[in-house]
Structure 1
Amino acid sequence: MKVAALQMVSTPDVAENLEVAWQLLQQARAAGAELAALPEYFCAMGRRDTDKLGYMEAFGQGPIQDFLARAARELDLWIVGGTLPLEADDPEHVRNSTLVFSPGGECVARYDKIHLFRYDNGRERYDEAQVIAAGQTPVRLDITDRSGEHWRLGLSICYDLRFPELYRAHAQRGCDLLLVPSAFTHTTGQAHWEVLLRA
């Protein structure tokens, strides 16, 4: 199965980002991809963490999810929808969620990021828990490619990469492919991204 890992520099403009994502998904399909994975917050990268609240959608409805469903259906692709902010249990928080859509346009899996990023080096400070509610449940799903071969996917998001127990559980349950849509900071990305992926 050919997989496309799509890269974007997302802006605060959702419509603009969805147009870029559509072009990349079309290119992936034209190149023979059967599964295309978008990055974390492909739909919008706000200027402040609280901007996520303005992009939030209820699970199962909203322009970002409608876009992913339509793109999967029209392009006949499995699409891993990077991440998008979905409603949490209170209006001050969102879930950072990966949704997987089948070539039929159905949402077949949802994973809410479990491990939340917190970092303070005296110059830069991040604390996702201020706006994001952590998920609790690892998610795996089985898909079938065009040749009829079955694949088991293990879902994760960005900072999860630092917690080997999640990936050990995915491996023990027979995952063939681990997905890690990410938007690392410049500082931590330079220091850790590549070595963590190798690990």
Structure 2
Amino acid sequence: MHIAVAQVGPIARSDTRARTVARLCELLKDAASRGAKWVTFPELTLTTFFPRWSIEDPREVRSFFETEMPGKETRPLFDLARELGVGFYLGYAELDGERQFNTSILVDGGGSIIGKYRKIHIPGDAQSQDGYPIQHLEKKYFQVGDLGFPVFDAGETRIGMCICNDRRWPETYRVMSLQAVDLVMVGYNTPTGYGRLGEPRHLPLLHNHLSLQAAAYQNTCWVAAAAKAGVEEGIHMIGGSCIVAPTGEIAVQALSEDDEVINYVCDMSLADGYRGNIFNYERHRRPEHYRAIVDRVGASRSPL
């Protein structure tokens, strides 16, 4: 399976949808010219990462959301996908009536939507925090996703999706792995220096790859991860877009923090040896001992 990841450089607050979609189309053409049949785009691909600001005007907030997909401004990407025969994952802000979600969709090579996911692990805060050099206000703008972690049939491959902070949580991948997922696509927008004291600049990229590599290995699947990267509206966003094999190895990684396509021909049978041995779930899993995972939200400090 020939997979590509389309990393996207900074998108300004003033950039139009049309301009951004034109960039995505160029990346899709690049991926197709290399022979790729599936492309992963980042989280909230169509706009700047607006949750860094506390915006109070409802009309301005809604301007970052899509009410339909495809819409007039995004349709060229779908038409191009159909022309090229290339499918893609696209992250965007979804307005569903009065509900707001951080969403991704899976579009096949015919330009049709075959899957939708809504981000479940919403990070950050619902209001600005004193002393934080960088605000991260996703809880202000997005509800918790309500679609679970579905897996979708895409020809001979089963594809799952998650978004940004989801990639840090092992439950995300295990639920999909229990549905025999072959490939997990993930888009992210990750800043450096988040928090009251500011996290050391090297750690976000380290944690990004650590999460992706562990997930791929422990869940016997490929992972294709796409960043929105570079200095966007004065905030540095990590790159590090990559494709990870079921061995836990990074097969290919982006070298820049700008628009960049990476691609890899993935041997989907590479997972078979792990699924039949070390991670043979039917032989080795013991779910009767995992109740705390679903019974508790947080760690209990009560006496043991």
Give 1:143-162 correspondences, 5 Å limit: 143-144=154-155, 150-162=156-168
- Provide the rounded CA distance (Å) in 2 between the counterparts of 1:49 and 1:107: 32
Q: Deviation at 1:109?
A: 0.7
- The structure whose RCO (Cα within 8 Å, separation 6+) is larger is 2
- Provide the rounded CA distance (Å) in 2 between the counterparts of 1:125 and 1:29: 37
Alignment of 1:109 onto 2:107: no
Deviations 1:141-166 (A, max 9, x none): 0112xxxxx11111100000122112
The 3 A distance-change label for structure 1 pair 43 and 35 is same
Indicate conservation of the 8 Å contact 2:46/2:92, yes or no: yes
The 3 A distance-change label for structure 1 pair 65 and 139 is farther
Indicate conservation of the 8 Å contact 1:6/1:24, yes or no: yes
Q: Which residue of 2 aligns with 1:139?
A: 150
The 3 A distance-change label for structure 1 pair 52 and 141 is farther
Number of aligned positions between the proteins: 191
Indicate conservation of the 8 Å contact 2:117/2:149, yes or no: yes
Between structures 1 and 2, the one with greater helix share = 1
Alignment of 1:57 onto 2:69: no
Alignment of 1:15 onto 2:18: yes
2:177 pairs, out of 171, 191, 194, with: 171
Alignment of 1:84 onto 2:92: yes
Name the TM-score, length of structure 2 as normaliser: 0.58
Deviations 1:31-84 (A, max 9, x none): 000001111122111553646520322244523542332122111111111x11
Identical residues among aligned pairs (%): 24
Q: Deviation at 1:3?
A: 0.5
Coordinate RMSD, CA, aligned = 2.1
- Provide the rounded CA distance (Å) in 1 between the counterparts of 2:72 and 2:120: 25
Q: Which residue of 2 aligns with 1:97?
A: 103
Counterpart of 1:123 in structure 2: which amino acid?
Answer: P
- Provide the rounded CA distance (Å) in 2 between the counterparts of 1:49 and 1:36: 32
Counterpart of 2:6 in structure 1: which amino acid?
Answer: L
Name the TM-score, length of structure 1 as normaliser: 0.86
**Which sections of structure 1, spanning at least 5 residues, go unmatched?**
145-149
The 3 A distance-change label for structure 1 pair 85 and 104 is same
- Provide the rounded CA distance (Å) in 2 between the counterparts of 1:25 and 1:112: 23
Indicate conservation of the 8 Å contact 2:21/2:76, yes or no: yes
Indicate conservation of the 8 Å contact 1:53/1:94, yes or no: no
Q: Deviation at 1:129?
A: 1.2
- Provide the rounded CA distance (Å) in 2 between the counterparts of 1:64 and 1:113: 23
SS in 2 for 1:152: strand
- Provide the rounded CA distance (Å) in 1 between the counterparts of 2:211 and 2:121: 15
Indicate conservation of the 8 Å contact 2:21/2:74, yes or no: no
**Which sections of structure 2, spanning at least 5 residues, go unmatched?**
195-203, 215-304
The 3 A distance-change label for structure 1 pair 178 and 134 is same
Q: Which residue of 2 aligns with 1:147?
A: none
SS in 2 for 1:156: strand
The 3 A distance-change label for structure 1 pair 182 and 49 is farther
The 3 A distance-change label for structure 1 pair 53 and 99 is same
Indicate conservation of the 8 Å contact 1:49/1:131, yes or no: no
Q: Which residue of 2 aligns with 1:4?
A: 4
The 3 A distance-change label for structure 1 pair 139 and 131 is same
